[in-house]
Amino acid sequence: MELSRKLSSTYFERKGGCIFADEFQTMVKKIYSITFILAALCIGALAFPLYGGWIEPNMVYGFEGDTPLTDAEWMALNKVYGAGAFAYACILLAYHVGALRVQRKLSTSSYVLRGLLVALISTIPAYIVMLIVQ
């Protein structure tokens, strides 16, 4: 009887809260950030062949309407997209690696909302990088 009470008080409760809930929230935060980190790495991996011009031109519609892009236009467009993708990936990666270390104390909902807000707001500097490269 004493052992079960001791186990329940030390394992299931901590300062009025449930350890399972705390561990679950921590796990959700880690999975959420790791998912964004993997997405940022994938976007960054796509940026290198785009920026380097390794993707072959195909029949996309060009700047003037129904004409396919020339090779030079295709390379310029891919360079712009690659620079923007790399900037976006770097911002996402930096934020979520930092969030795993710094923002542990936040509630899960504010942690998730801040992550989504960063994903939306980081498109602005990525777009600025695309304009600079263009």
Backbone angles phi, psi at 70, to 5 degrees: -75, 170
Helix (H) or strand (E) holding 84: helix 71-102
- Pairwise pLDDT comparison (46 vs 54), residue with the higher score: 46
Report d(CA 57, CA 54) in Å as an integer. 9
Report the SS3 class of residue 80.
helix
Residue 14, pLDDT above cutoff 70: no
Residue 126 belongs to domain spanning:
40-133
Provide DSSP, 22-75: HHHHHHHHHHHHHHHHHHHHHHHHHHHHHHHT-SPP---B-TTSSSBPPHHHHH
- Identify the pLDDT of residue 17: 54
Residue identified by tokens 């409760």 is 13
- Identify the pLDDT of residue 63: 57
Q: What is the mean pLDDT of residues 72-80?
A: 86
Neighbours of 99 (CB within 10 A): 20
Residue 57, pLDDT above cutoff 80: no
Per-residue pLDDT band at 60 (split at 50, 70, 90): low
Indicate whether 77 belongs to any domain: yes
- Identify the pLDDT of residue 113: 87
How many structural domains compose the chain? 1
Indicate whether 7 belongs to any domain: no
Indicate whether 85 belongs to any domain: yes
Q: What is the mean pLDDT of residues 78-107?
A: 87
> 35-57 b/e with 16+ CB inside 10 Å = b?
ebbeebeebbebbeebbeeeeeb
Among left, alpha and beta (phi > 0; psi -120 to 50; other), residue 15 is left
Per-residue pLDDT band at 90 (split at 50, 70, 90): very high
- Sign of the Cα pseudo-torsion (6, 7, 8, 13, in order): positive
Indicate whether 104 belongs to any domain: yes
What's the whole-model pTM score?
0.71
